[in-house]
Structure 1
Amino acid sequence: MFAQVFSSMADQGKAMFEPAFEFNRIALGQAQKVAEKQLELVNEYTKLGLSQINKAASISSIDDIQAASEAQLKVGQELSEKLMKDASDWAVMGQALTEEWKTFAESKFQAVVKEPVKAAKK
């Protein structure tokens, strides 16, 4: 009898807390994806900045200044394109993360996301 009571309590506890555990798994997984993307971008932009500093430090003549300024135009264009691509990548990631939460909510909280029922006419 006690075994049945404990088994029943364990089953009820699992049913009650499983959505919270899954919520935590999703949140942690998404935080990890975002952190990895942030670190990747920090690394890329840091390398770009340091390479520009090294190029500026190697300037030793008027000709070098002219060549560096011409190169800066190209770097500026490349940086602009990279920023647009990175912003697009963030938007895609945001949509994927939102979809993951929507799927979770629909599967765990069906009463919350159901279509409203029209009121009966009198």
Structure 2
Amino acid sequence: MKLLAIIPIATLTACDPVPTAEQFIPDYLGVETALLDDDLVQFKVAMTNALSSKDVDNYAECAAAQYTLIRGWGFARHVRTNVNEEGGVWRADAVYTISPSLPRGLRTIDAEVVTAACVEKGIPTV
């Protein structure tokens, strides 16, 4: 009886496609930036092979950190991020404020520290 229960399960899993390494390597498709105000910036990013929405959120944060440094400022504050996935492509639409000094709020980032972490993790920036 146990043998019959094991055979169908083994047969089903043998038919499942075996994942390849490429399916676990993120493919970053680019960043679009739009300056909404002097200190308010929108970042639209896209990627494939994300494991969760956190991966695409991290990509947007990396873009925001590098952009902040490019503008000559040191800090950013997360305002909002909308993430969706369709057909295997993950997209994030994120908005950050940027500033020369540490802004008030809970979701602030030190642009130098975050950019360095992004480089270390292999996440592209702007």
Give TM-score, length-normalised by structure 2: 0.25
Which structure has the larger Rg over C-alpha atoms? Answer: 1
The structure with higher relative contact order (CA 8 Å, sep 6+) is 1
Query: More strand by proportion, 1 or 2?
Result: 2
